[in-house]
Each structure stands twice: as structure tokens, then as C-alpha cells.
Structure 1
Amino acid sequence: MSTPFPFTAVVGQDDLRLALLLNAVSPQVGGVLVRGEKGTAKSTAVRALSALMPEVDIVSGCRFSCDPAAPDPACPDGPHEVGGTGSRPARMVELPVGASEDRLVGALDIERALAEGVKAFEPGLLADAHRGILYVDEVNLLHDHLVDLLLDAAAMGASYVEREGVSVRHAARFLLVGTMNPEEGELRPQLLDRFGLTVEVAASREPDQRVEVVRRRLAYDDDPAGFAARWADEETSLRARIVAARALLPSVRLGDAALRQIAATCAAFEVDGMRADIVMARTATALAAWAGRTDVLAEDVRQAALLALPHRRRRNPFDAPGLDEDKLDDTLQEFGGDDDRSEAERGEDDDPDPDPDGGGGGRPPQDGPDDAPSPGDASAEDSPAREEQSEEGRPRSAGGGEQQPVRAGEPFRTKALSVPGIGEGAAGRRSRARTEHGRTTGARRPRGALTKLHLAATVQAAAPHQRARGRSGRGLVVRRDDLRQATREGREGNLVLFVVDASGSMAARQRMTAVKGAVLSLLLDAYQRRDKVGLVTFRGKDAEVALPPTSSVDAAAARLDLLPTGGRTPLAAGLLKAQHVLRVERLRDPSRRPLLVVVTDGRATGGVEPVALASRAARLHAAEGTAAIVVDCESGPVRLGLARSLAGDLGGTAVTLDELRANAIAGLVKDVQTARRAA
């Protein structure tokens, strides 16, 4: 086993180290979610924590790490005899993103269970992590069904494995630590709330600190054992402090004043449920024990809020995590009351004259003021003939220059769009697919290990051979060839590629606000349905990939917000660029089916025969079988119907901005199928 990088040798990342240490002091805090860019020592710090955890007492021979002082009465290896005890280091178990369900929860030998009536059970990672650390790197990329299993185990402190009436239960209480890069996608809100604390990490911009990071890393890589030996004293001292804080923890008093501040803070930031209050209380108590105190002070409550609330205050997926520290300080001051300190102590610690400008490191407001309207905004028309053109053909506002980005309109709920047919892509919530989870639709012979038994089909396959196999008594003689795997139908996630017209014909401020609002609504739907998304825009003379396909819907929303408009309408270039993106993605992930969403008024300008060229580009998508939706942005009393013609060339269907808002598109999928059959 390789020597881990010493925890005390990690440079900087004070919040990350504090959050991990607080969980080591009080595992009831509920774990840590570490968010940050790649290469910021997230995994290094987590792996180093396991070496600091105190040893655990176990029942000798128990595969489920039962505590001798309180053994699990339902333990599959029980009942346990008194006296057989031992100890071992606390484990850190890593859950790979691509792990199977059986690897996580364990596996039953279905064949032996049916033929012999025994519960032959092989423990999984949840059993290994009991009373230790369960670490999930890139937790935001974890498959939905594994997330559901983690949620259940974290909520109940136990893991259940049930297959066709055969069930096994064992304890599974663990410290859940996850790391993620937000650029690769966000977490489901249910799992996000399960993490007690969250920490944002970033690489230091100080040259001296970066030099020290490189120096220590190179020294560790050259001689891991020697490097660890040089930090042994610091590791021992920190381990002793953890043990001392754990011993002090039961004596820490959480007074009414601190509880009032905790409740007021959670109410002020409008967090859902009561878990935030409980986590803050436990975190503040752990902070006091870590500082060697037996009373929780206002400073502990403030630090607990900064660690426990940022990931819980998001009202929708596009809100940036974080807290307004000025608002936090105001709330704590308003509900401070008697915080169990003397007046002299409060006079020394509290600032009687807070900075009126809100200094001190508080986050800037999340929402800035709207862009100041240009003189021509109030009378902007949809027709490009009203726009003043520059020499390069770009539209100019009354004050000159291309149109500046405008804010998106308020997002709204959309009806589900799906890809026709049945796929076999990654688990999600959009289109029909053959998956490991969902409703049972049939049976087949298993390929490899049996995971989902189809009991009726298995009995039907074994029944004709009972006499030849010498059956006697009531038992059914089942052999490997009789076993049948259940085939199931569920939902998959798709690649939703947005192709957005940002040309001058779309540049009227009110129209572009509505268009961006519609795309933002579809992005929100893609987030909820676990899709990958991509963004292609076209304007001027060409098209560009504003965002390559990614699981980060937040990144797509950010690019959309900065999208400028103006110039000619190279519709064909946009469609060809989208075709190239989809071809590359089919090679990377052939099982993920695409859904092309073209947002345009259908006009095509620039070059020779732009309309005919756009029509030919659209037919290429139809020839490749790409499901397509055209969001028709044309408005005004006179409409040319160009977007609907484009939808016909794509073999898809068109829907207006107004239809996206209402139940009028309930039959949209049927329209897509009908259009493709007719094409």
C-alpha cells in the first residue's frame, strides 16, 4: 500500500482542511462536499484524512465491522459471541463512478438462494465503509440509481439488498465525502442536501504559495516514505488533537442564544427543511470542541453557517452557491442576545462600527442591475430593415456598435421533449430506453453475472426438466441454464444540442429576451432530466461551438447569458457545425442519442443561395436520423413560415415560443414521430 500524502503537508486550503477535521471530530456532522477546479488537492486531502482517523473496535471475524459494545442484531454474520473483539484502522473506501449496483450494496447468490434456500451474500462497498469514510470522486457524475442507493443508506444508516423475496440488511453508517468539478455538471438537490458541509476550493494565485505546493509535491514523489517521516510529528500532534476534541465533544454546551442564531440564520437564507439547522448545530459544537472550549460562541455559529449553508440556499440550478456574508453578520447581530460571553469579551471580539461599504470579504451580489437600455431599445422592431447596418453588415443600435447581450426572460416549465424509439443510453429521465432499472418488459438469458432475476421465466424454464433431474420433495431443481435475466424499460438521458440564431434578425431586445428565456427553460428541463447539453451559435459570417457537449447545464446557462447578437444569418453554417459536433459525439458516446433544438426565425442570409444551402444542411441531419425540434421565433403580423419549412427539412417539427409555455405541445413528440415517418 502506497504511503499517503500527509494531511499536515497540504498547503493552504484552510476551509477544506477544517471541514474534514470537523467531521473527524464529529462524524454526525454529515460529511463534506468539496467543489472546485481540477488540480486543487481535493482528492489528496481526503485520502490523507483517513490516516488521522482513530482506530475502531470491531467484532473479530465480522465482515460488517460490528461494534463490540453494540453489535447489530440483524448482522448477516451474527449472532456474535461475547469476547471476540479486535481493532483496525478506520477505512477509506472509494466508490468508482462506473461501479455496478452489486459492487456498491453487495450481491446475493440467486441460484443458491432458490435451489438451497441459503442467503449466500457477498458484502459490497457500503459494508466496507461502515464506521469509516466513503469517498466518491467526481460524485456529480455518479449514475442516478447509485445516487438513490446512497441516499437510502445515508438516511437510514443501513443497506438493504432484496431480490425476489430474498433480503439481507446490514448497518451502513459512514462519513460521506465527495469531490466534484462544477464545470462537469451539478448534483441532484437530494444528494446535495445529504452532505453536511460544502467547501469551494481554488488554486492559489500567490506565487510563493504555488512554489511551496510544487516543492512539496516533488519531494513526496521522489521519496514518499521519507517525506511522510518528516511530517510524522505534525501528524501525531494533529491526531492527538482530534482524539482530545472527540473526548471534549459531549461536554460542549449549545446555549439558547446560539440555537436562536442558528434558527434565525437558516430562516433568513430560506433554506428548505430542518436539516440545515441540525447540521449547523452539530458543526458549531464541533468547532467549539476543536478550539478546546465547552461553550458555543457566535463565531462558531458564523463559521458553521459558512460551511453548512452555501449549497442549501440555491433556489434553482442556475443560482451560484454561496452566502452574502454581510447579511449573515446582520442576522447574527440582530439575534445575538446573550452569547454566554462577558461584556469585556464581546467588546474585544465584536466590531461596534461595521464597515458601511460591506467590506471584509463578503461575496458580491449575485444579481447585478439590468443593462442600461440604449436609446433605440424602446422602439426596437423585429424587422432587420429597421436596423442600421455597419460596413461589415453587422446591425448597430442607435448609438452604434453591435447589440450588447441582454438578460434572459424568466424561465418557465416546459413539456418533456423526447427522442422517438427506444435507446440504450445512460440512465436519465427523458427518452424511453432499455435499462437495468424500470418496469419489467420481458426476459432473456443472462449475459455474464445475473443481476435482475425474472422469477416466472426462470421457473417456466426449469419446470419441464424436473423429472429428468430426479426431483423429490417440494424444492425446485434449478440449474444455471434455467436462470433468466429480466429485461426492463426505463428512461435515458440524451444529448440536447441547442443551435441558437444570434443574428441581426433576432436582435430586437424584447424578442431576444424571450428567446433566451425559452432556451433557459429548456436548459432547466435538461438539468432535471440528467442530459448532456451543448450550444452552437451562428451570426455574422460563421457559426461557433459556444459550449462543447457537457453535463454542466450551469455552464450552458452562463454562455447563453453572455451571447451577443448582430450580423447576417448563416443558418447553413450553424446546421453544419451542429452536424460536426454530433458526429464527434457519436464516436465518443455512441449509446447517447441526440436531440437537436434549433432556435431561429428561419431566415438565412449571406453567401450564394443561403436558403437552399440551409435546406441541404438540414436534410443531412434528417438522413442521419437526428431527432429535431425547431423553436420558431418569428413574430409580427406578417410571418413567412420559414422555421416550419426548416423543420420539414430536418424531419422534425416546429413549435412557437408561446407553445413552449402551455399544454399545447403535449402532443409534440407524436408530431415529431409523424413528421419523421412522412419525411
Structure 2
Amino acid sequence: MPAQYPFCAVVGADDMTLALTLVAIDPLIGGVLIRGEKGTAKTTTVRGLAEVLPAVRVYAGDRFSIDPDDPSAVCPDGPFDVPTPVVERPVRLVELPVGAGDDRVTGSLKLDAALRDGVVAFEPGLLARAHRGLLYVDEVNLLPDHLVDLLLDAAATGRVSVERDGVSVEHASRFVLIGTMNPEEGELRPQLLDRFGLTVEVAAPRDPVLRVQAVRRRLAFDADPEGFATRWAGEQEALRTRLAAARRSLAGVVLDDETLTRIAELCAAFDVDGLRADLVTARAAAAHAAWRGRTRVTLEDIRIAARLALPHRRRRNPFDEPGLDQDRLDDLLGHNDPDPGPDGPGGGLPDDTGHDGSAGDVPGSPGESPPVPEPERQAATSMASAGEPARARLLVVKGTGDGQAGRRSRARTPQGRVAGQRRRTSGDGRLHLPGTITAAAPHQHSRGGLTGGRGLALVPGDLRRAETVGRESNLVLLCVDASGSMAARRRMEQVKTAVLSLLLDAYRRRDKVALVTFRRHTAEVVLPPTGSVDVASRRLADLPAGGRTPLAEGMERSGEVLRREALRDPSRRPLLVVVTDGRATSGPDPLGRAHRAAAALATSGVQVVVVDCETGRFRLGLAARLATHLRAEHVPLGEVTADGLTGVVRTATAPRAGVA
């Protein structure tokens, strides 16, 4: 087995290593969510954690890893006889792929035993392997809803029940859930977010000394993994010993009424939902006290626990900024009492304070100043802010797609209602057992199956997969006229509100949303395709308006966005919504160029809606002409309100009769 990068050798990730240390001491804290940019050693650190955890005792050959010292533990492979040996093995780190199927996660019928030997046997899934260990999900924010539901059930009950294909099995599944994600790729479903006990934000260190140290260590590891691991073996063993001691002493840490009252006051002051925040903060504070070698929880323990346990629980909607006001936290706790705990071993081992004495705070990246508009643009540019986003009405794309599982348009998906079967290739999809047996049955005589005690004789061509129909996620691309002809300020306020409303709906339905605007002499991709409400709200905050109307450029840029996204994500079906009055005033032959660009875009077959924003008593009907060239539905709309725009999208994309 190749050497793993040592946990103790990680540099510049104090909050991350501290949070992982606390859940290693007390798994009941509930896991860690690690949010951060690419290249910040998230996966490396998580994988290194398993190397320093104390070994677990299990029965030899037990596929479900029950605790031999727990008389109430029940195992589907048991009961075990008295002579069954008890062995120690390392803690498992089980990685859950984002694209895994239900049967791989929860377990399924063992096909060779069932079909060849006529024996109904259960093949355990990843949740069984993760029992008493770590379950790691990279890009957890991209996890399909059906897998999220499975994790939520297992996390809530500590058990997994499988009732499928003639199999009825229930087993324990208690694990430390660790997820990593890049917030720019989309947000996490709120129900799963709340299941993570602690959350940390990670970024590459800004201190050049730390960056050099991190690079030097990584280069040394890549050059000689075994030798590098050997050099860090002493620090790793010291950490393993200290973790084991902290686990043993955890039960003796005192959580008196004064401490619990202080924690409750903090949670109430930050207006977090439910009591899980109080429980997690209390457990994390006790774990930190045990880690520091104390038997009583101090204010410093509470402060560190709150900083890790509360930020993701105080968000009321996806547009709220994550994080915790550190100054307010310090004010609520008053002056921190001294922390007399012992120092741990070095080499990046997490203690109370980071390299800068800030209790493990990871330095943030410096903010970027917005560009200063050129003097000649100031008079022709106005700024408009968005209103409160409304709940968008349901929008769907016509027909049946093959996109990623979501909650919007009808599609063939891994989960849903079984609507048919087809030949199974490369182990893809869920096995359709009746179809498999039906396909194999006519050939049993020639194959010698079902005679002489033999089971069903199968060949790969007999296997059938279930065709399931569910819902998919989509891409909604809004192409918005932000020129002076749109009565910029008022209309852009309404358009912004509409975009935020659609984005909020997309967050709930696992969609992507993108925004192209055109003004002056060019079109700009203000919001690339994304499901991240954090990124979207920041990009939309300062959307300018005014100037000439380059309609052709808007059509061309929209086509570019759709083509790029089709290459990147070919199964995700798009809907283009063009918000304009149809005018074109930029460049030579502006209207003719716009209509030619629209006709070219129409050949792609993308579904388009043109929202006509022309107002006044005398109208030119230019938006209707544009819709003709786009082969789009033309919807007159006097004002682009949030309710009006989202309602138009819903009406224009409603399925035909007989289509769900």
C-alpha cells in the first residue's frame, strides 16, 4: 500500500486539522465540512487523519465491524461463536463517489450466489464498511439528492435498512462524516449541511514562509514517499498516543450548568435554529478540553468550539454570507481566561492557536477593490440594486432528458419510477431482476441450467438494467438588455430581483443559472453557469446599466455560453430567456446583425423565450420580430417584475398534455 502524506506534516491548515482532531476524539460531534478553494490540501489532510486514529477491535471476518465489547451490538453475519477471534485493525476511511448508485452505498443482492447457487445473500455497501470509521465525500455539494437522503437516514438513525430484490437486512452504521467542497461549484442541501457538526473555511496561506514550507514538504514527499513518512513516524505516533489519551479522558471532562448556560446564551445570541448547535458546541468544547489535558471546560474551549460549530447554522437563506462575527463572539464571552494546557508535538499538529496566535484562524485573502469607472462612462451608467427575491414558480423544459438527477424537468435518472428495462453494460445502473431472468429463461436447456442442482445459467447478454424516470436539473440562461433603452434603473432592479428569485429556486432544485448582459458596445457574461448562490449574489450586486444596445453581441455571447456548457455538461438541457425591447443601436446595420445572430442561434435547437419589455403607447414590435428569428415564444410584458418574469418562464416551458 503506498505511503500516505502524514497528517502532522500538513502546513497552514490549523482550523481544518483542529476540527478533524476534535471529531476524532468525540465522533458524536457529527463530522466536519471543509469548504475552500482548490489546491488547499483538503483531501490530503482527510486521508491522513485515518493514519493516526487508534485501531478498532472487531471479530475476525466480520463484514459489519460490530464492537465485540458492546453486548447489545447485533450483526447480520452473527451471532459469533465464543472461539471467534477478536482482532485489531486500522480505522477505515471509506470514500463515497458522487456518482455511486444506491446498491453500492447501502448494499445489494449478491448476484452470483442468487442466480447460480439459488442462495439469497447480501453484499454489504459502503455504509457498512464505514461503520466505526470515517466516511469521506469529496465534492459533497454535488452529491445527488437520492444519496443525500440515504446519508441523512443513516446519520439520523445510526442504522441502514435494505429491503430490495428479496433481501431484508438491517445493520448498524455509525461513522464520522467528512465532506469537502468548493463553494463556487454550488451550495450544500440545508438538511445535510446541518448534519455536519463542525465547518471550516480553508485557503492557501498568505505567509510566504508557510507557502515555501508546504511546497518543500510536498516535493520531499513526492520524491520519496516512504522515506518522508518514516521521518514523520515519531510525530505521527505521538499524535496517535495523544488522541487515544484524549478519548479516554473525555468522559471525565466536566460540563457544569454554568458552562452549558454560557453555550446556550451564545447559540441564542447568534439566533441558530434548533438545539443541535448547543449539543455540538458542548461536545466540541469538551473534546477540546480533553485534547488540552484538562478536566474542566474553559471559555477558550467554548470560543473555539463555537467558532467551528455555529457559522453554518446561522444562515437563514442561501444568500446569507457564511461565517461568524469574531468580535461579537469575544464580546459575548468576555475576556478569555488563560489556557494552561500542554503543548502538543510539533510539525503542524493543531493546538489552540495558529502560527499567528489567532486560535487557528486561517488568514483570509485580501479583498479586491471594484474597478473605478472611466469618467466618460459615469454619466451613461446607473446602478440598480435587487429587491427581496421571491419564490419562483416551477419552470420545466419540455420532453424527457438524460441530465443529472435534480428536481425540475422530466428525465431518465438513476432513481425514480421504473418505466422499463434495457440491456445492462459495464455494470451500469440498477439491475432489473425480472427482466434478467426473463431474458435468460429460454436458453436454460441449451446451457444446461436448472438441472442437476445447478442454478440459473447466465451470460453477460442476459443482464438487464432498470429504466427509471425521475427529475433532472437544468441550465437557465438569462440574456438581459442592460442598455439605456430599458429605463435602466427601475427595470434592472426588477431583472436583478427576478434573477435572484430564479437562482433561489435553482438552489432548491439543484439547477445551474447563468446571466449575460449587453450594453454600450459589448456583451458580458456577468454570471457563468453556476449553482452557487454565494457567487451569484456577489456578481449581481453591482450590475451596471446604460448606454447603447448591442443586441447582436448579446445573441452571439449567449450562443457561446451555451456551446461551452454543452461541451462541459452535455446532458444538462438549457433554457434561454431573452429580456429585451428588441432595439439594436450599436454598430453598423445593428438590427440586421441582431436578426442574423438570432437565426444562427435558433439552428442549435435550444428552447428560447423572448420577454418583450417595450412600453409606451406606440410600439415598434421589434421584440416580436426577434422572437420569430429565434423561433421562440414571444411574451409581451410591460414591466419585468420578478413575479412576471418567473411566471413567464413557467408558462412558456410548461409541458404538453400527457407530459409530466
Gap change, CA 1:92 and 1:471, over 3 Å in 2? closer
Gap change, CA 1:593 and 1:535, over 3 Å in 2? same
- Aligned partner of 1:485 in structure 2 is 465
- Aligned partner of 2:69 in structure 1 is 69
Gap change, CA 1:635 and 1:314, over 3 Å in 2? farther
- Aligned partner of 2:651 in structure 1 is 668
What is the DSSP-based 3-state SS (H/G/I as helix, E as strand, rest coil) of the residue aligned with 1:20? helix
- Aligned partner of 1:627 in structure 2 is 607
How big is each residue's C-alpha offset from its partner over 1:94-119, in whole Å with a ceiling of 9 and x where there is no partner? Answer: 22333333332233135754786633
1:248-397 matches, within 5 Å, as: 248-333=249-334
How big is each residue's C-alpha offset from its partner over 1:122-177, in whole Å with a ceiling of 9 and x where there is no partner? Answer: 22222222211111222222222222222222222222333244222222211111
Residue 412 (structure 1) aligned with residue 390 (structure 2): yes
Task: State how far apart, in whole Å, the 1-side matches of 2:580 and 2:305 are.
Answer: 48
What is the DSSP-based 3-state SS (H/G/I as helix, E as strand, rest coil) of the residue aligned with 2:243? helix
Task: State how far apart, in whole Å, the 1-side matches of 2:534 and 2:479 are.
Answer: 17
What is the DSSP-based 3-state SS (H/G/I as helix, E as strand, rest coil) of the residue aligned with 2:314? coil
Task: State how far apart, in whole Å, the 1-side matches of 2:455 and 2:28 are.
Answer: 47
Q: CA deviation at 1:240?
A: 1.6
Task: State how far apart, in whole Å, the 1-side matches of 2:179 and 2:647 are.
Answer: 42
Task: State how far apart, in whole Å, the 2-side matches of 1:589 and 1:658 are.
Answer: 31
Q: CA deviation at 1:513?
A: 1.3
Backbone CA RMSD of aligned residues: 3.5
Task: State how far apart, in whole Å, the 2-side matches of 1:667 and 1:518 are.
Answer: 13
- Aligned partner of 2:146 in structure 1 is 145
1:535-614 matches, within 5 Å, as: 535-614=515-594
Task: State how far apart, in whole Å, the 1-side matches of 2:646 and 2:488 are.
Answer: 27
Stretch of structure 1 that moved more, 569-578 or 146-155 = 146-155
Gap change, CA 1:91 and 1:629, over 3 Å in 2? same
Q: 2:402 aligns with which of 420, 424, 440?
A: 424
Task: State how far apart, in whole Å, the 1-side matches of 2:632 and 2:396 are.
Answer: 12
- Aligned partner of 1:518 in structure 2 is 498
- Aligned partner of 1:383 in structure 2 is none
**CA contact 2:385–2:496 (8 Å) conserved in 1:** yes
Stretch of structure 1 that moved more, 447-456 or 496-505 = 447-456
Gap change, CA 1:672 and 1:620, over 3 Å in 2? farther
Task: State how far apart, in whole Å, the 2-side matches of 1:206 and 1:556 are.
Answer: 29
| Paired AA for residue 184 in structure 2 | E
1:51-66 matches, within 5 Å, as: 51-66=51-66
**CA contact 2:399–2:655 (8 Å) conserved in 1:** no
| Paired AA for residue 296 in structure 1 | V
- Aligned partner of 1:181 in structure 2 is 182
Task: State how far apart, in whole Å, the 2-side matches of 1:422 and 1:93 are.
Answer: 35
TM-score (norm 1): 0.83
Q: CA deviation at 1:579?
A: 0.9
- Aligned partner of 2:598 in structure 1 is 618
- Aligned partner of 1:368 in structure 2 is none
**CA contact 1:113–1:166 (8 Å) conserved in 2:** no
Task: State how far apart, in whole Å, the 1-side matches of 2:141 and 2:532 are.
Answer: 10
Task: State how far apart, in whole Å, the 1-side matches of 2:527 and 2:359 are.
Answer: 35
| Paired AA for residue 245 in structure 1 | A
Task: State how far apart, in whole Å, the 2-side matches of 1:215 and 1:361 are.
Answer: 22
1:497-508 matches, within 5 Å, as: 497-506=477-486, 508=488
What is the DSSP-based 3-state SS (H/G/I as helix, E as strand, rest coil) of the residue aligned with 2:503? helix
Q: CA deviation at 1:603?
A: 2.3
- Aligned partner of 1:377 in structure 2 is none
Higher relative contact order (CA 8 A, sep 6+): 2
**CA contact 2:101–2:430 (8 Å) conserved in 1:** no
| Paired AA for residue 581 in structure 1 | V
Task: State how far apart, in whole Å, the 1-side matches of 2:537 and 2:646 are.
Answer: 25
- Aligned partner of 2:417 in structure 1 is 439
Q: How many residues align?
A: 622
How big is each residue's C-alpha offset from its partner over 1:441-469, in whole Å with a ceiling of 9 and x where there is no partner? Answer: 23334344475455666677688899999
Q: CA deviation at 1:492?
A: 0.8
Gap change, CA 1:294 and 1:504, over 3 Å in 2? same
Stretch of structure 1 that moved more, 59-68 or 557-566 = 557-566
**CA contact 1:436–1:488 (8 Å) conserved in 2:** yes
How big is each residue's C-alpha offset from its partner over 1:615-643, in whole Å with a ceiling of 9 and x where there is no partner? Answer: 23223333221112334444556655544
Structure 1, gaps ≥5 residues long: 346-358, 364-370, 372-389, 395-399, 675-679
Q: CA deviation at 1:430?
A: 1.6
**CA contact 1:535–1:556 (8 Å) conserved in 2:** no
> Quick one: percent identity of the two aligned structures?
59
**CA contact 1:57–1:86 (8 Å) conserved in 2:** yes
Gap change, CA 1:670 and 1:219, over 3 Å in 2? closer
- Aligned partner of 2:102 in structure 1 is 101
**CA contact 1:92–1:133 (8 Å) conserved in 2:** yes
How big is each residue's C-alpha offset from its partner over 1:214-254, in whole Å with a ceiling of 9 and x where there is no partner? Answer: 22222222222222233222222222211111111001111
What is the DSSP-based 3-state SS (H/G/I as helix, E as strand, rest coil) of the residue aligned with 1:311? helix
Stretch of structure 1 that moved more, 518-527 or 70-79 = 70-79
How big is each residue's C-alpha offset from its partner over 1:48-72, in whole Å with a ceiling of 9 and x where there is no partner? Answer: 2111100000001111212111267
| Paired AA for residue 403 in structure 1 | T
**CA contact 1:97–1:139 (8 Å) conserved in 2:** yes
**CA contact 1:446–1:484 (8 Å) conserved in 2:** yes
Task: State how far apart, in whole Å, the 2-side matches of 1:9 and 1:79 are.
Answer: 43
Stretch of structure 1 that moved more, 86-95 or 532-541 = 532-541
**CA contact 1:38–1:181 (8 Å) conserved in 2:** yes
**CA contact 2:396–2:653 (8 Å) conserved in 1:** no
Gap change, CA 1:402 and 1:485, over 3 Å in 2? same
Task: State how far apart, in whole Å, the 1-side matches of 2:622 and 2:643 are.
Answer: 18
Task: State how far apart, in whole Å, the 2-side matches of 1:642 and 1:671 are.
Answer: 25
**CA contact 1:163–1:453 (8 Å) conserved in 2:** no
- Aligned partner of 1:349 in structure 2 is none
- Aligned partner of 1:348 in structure 2 is none
Q: CA deviation at 1:547?
A: 3.6
| Paired AA for residue 613 in structure 1 | R
Task: State how far apart, in whole Å, the 2-side matches of 1:652 and 1:266 are.
Answer: 52
Residue 9 (structure 1) aligned with residue 15 (structure 2): no
- Aligned partner of 1:160 in structure 2 is 161
Gap change, CA 1:548 and 1:20, over 3 Å in 2? same
**CA contact 1:652–1:672 (8 Å) conserved in 2:** no
Q: CA deviation at 1:81?
A: 1.6
**CA contact 2:385–2:493 (8 Å) conserved in 1:** yes
Gap change, CA 1:563 and 1:665, over 3 Å in 2? closer
Structure 2, gaps ≥5 residues long: 341-357, 363-369
| Paired AA for residue 14 in structure 2 | D
Gap change, CA 1:360 and 1:137, over 3 Å in 2? closer
Gap change, CA 1:658 and 1:181, over 3 Å in 2? closer
- Aligned partner of 1:123 in structure 2 is 124
Q: CA deviation at 1:576?
A: 0.9
Gap change, CA 1:663 and 1:17, over 3 Å in 2? closer
- Aligned partner of 1:403 in structure 2 is 381
1:226-245 matches, within 5 Å, as: 226-245=227-246
How big is each residue's C-alpha offset from its partner over 1:456-494, in whole Å with a ceiling of 9 and x where there is no partner? Answer: 66677688899999989xx99796677653322111111
Q: CA deviation at 1:611?
A: 2.4
